[in-house]
Amino acid sequence: MIVTTTPDIPDHKLVKVLGIVKGNTIRARNIGKDILAVFKNLIGGEIEEYTKLMAESREQALDRMVKQAESMGANAVIGVHFTTSYIMANAAEILAFGTAVIIKEQ
């Protein structure tokens, strides 16, 4: 499965547009990570616990989007974007979306 943020893929012909695909996850921070983050905030620097949480969340949303595209018969997803939305205190939604397509090499 080719997944790209671009609207086309060099050396490939767009055969069919199958439609919008998406994958999301909602993640909440936990008390253990919050305590570590407070200490890190006092001394400065990257809060690795949150960086890891967001990276895992993006991967999960991307995986879900790809699974939806596969179920539609796509072999690529173009125009992929990510968004993050605040849901409630300490929780955020990460959404990956794009266009499922069938492509072939030229």
Exposed / middle / buried, residue 58 (Cβ in 10 Å: 0-12, 13-18, 19+): middle
Given a contact cutoff of 8 angstroms between Cβ atoms, the answer to whether 92 and 102 are in contact is: no
- How far apart CA 11 and CA 26 sit, in angstroms, is 37
pLDDT tens digits along 38-49: 655 666 677 777
Residue 73 has which token pair? 């018969």
pLDDT tens digits along 25-39: 998 766 555 555 565
- How far apart CA 19 and CA 84 sit, in angstroms, is 22
Whole-prediction pTM: 0.83
The CATH fold of domain 2-105: Translation Initiation Factor IF3 (3.30.110)
